[in-house]
Amino acid sequence: MMVLVTGANGFIGRALCSMIMLKGWQIRGTVRDVSSLPEGVDAVKIKSINIDTNWASALKGVDVVVHLAARVHVMEKKDPDPIAAFREVNVIGTERLARTAAVAGVKRFVFLSSIGVNGSMTHRLPLSEKDGPQPHNPYALSKLEAEQVLRRIASESGMELVVIRSPLVYGPGNPGNILRLLSLVDKGWPLPLASVTNSRSLIYLGNLVDAIMTCITHPDAAGKTFLVSDSQDISTSKLLRLLASAMGKKPRLIPFPLALLKVIGTLLGKSDEIQRLTGSLLIDSSRIRNVLGWKPPFSMEEGIRETVKWYKNSTRSVRY
């Protein structure tokens, strides 16, 4: 079987490519810089993803496409049309890839979407595939629109579609929010988060890759949307304690009134960051377990240990 992975040199892409090679499948990866791909991956250089992208050489002989590449960074709020750049890559570019894939005879298209399609928080019940979409920012809206376009193409062409909506991913090579938390804990900064009792669903990189691998081959995945997580929910304060414990450090968490923290966040223009740290976002991932028999192969504790190990090694190599 030949699998095409877009964004193959990214945080998730590199781990997925390594797992596919362990399976003994043929793999092709699209990247902007072919030198950054894991050894053994057939590299195809794609400079940009939009309506004009030529996917012909990348799709030759491909059975399954796993589409990871996306525009993910947050644009400035002062941008007069913040959705346009997201749509160019995440909607129009994805449509171009899927239509070309269908014509090329690709059997299955696995699309990595975002839990943001469902919303940014939960109040009582966990989010599930049954919930109506409530995208909360331009990125999440573009992912929803991409899902809708892909379903139309799948219906018209017969190409099988699998959509995976993921929460925050952590693991070795982690960019973004988890890396910032690791740095804060490592430096011993006092954090006013001891009183935070929220509950959030996350997913370890190894678990997400395993879920994607299952969706590549499982016959019952066709036509389905799955929400995935570690199935171990955690508060921000407990997460910080686990990170500190794995580092061999004591967490410096200070009790602080949550309402006041939110006010300060608003005044500093950091309300979104405070929401991510203090709000709850729970996922019901029972569908993928029940339909595909999938179970996360790694516990959250194992995932955090591996993430901290990577962080220590990377900071040590930079230091020396």
Catalytic residue numbers read 139
Q: How far apart are CA 101 and CA 97, in angstroms?
A: 6
Q: How far apart are CA 49 and CA 26, in angstroms?
A: 23
How big is the chain by its Cα radius of gyration, in Å?
20
Residue 118 — φ and ψ, nearest 5°? -80, -30
Token pair listed for 41: 């991956």
Number of other residues whose CB lies within 10 A of the CB of residue 72: 16
Token pair listed for 289: 């377990």
Q: What is the side-by-side strand order in the sheet with 42-45?
A: 42-45, 26-31, 2-6, 64-67, 108-114, 160-166, 225-227
Q: How far apart are CA 318 and CA 153, in angstroms?
A: 46
Nearest Cα to Cα of residue 12 among 174, 182, 217, 216? 174
Cα→Cα distances 177→38, 174, 184, Å: 25, 9, 11
Cα→Cα distances 149→91, 95, 158, Å: 8, 7, 14
Nearest Cα to Cα of residue 182 among 12, 309, 39, 74? 309
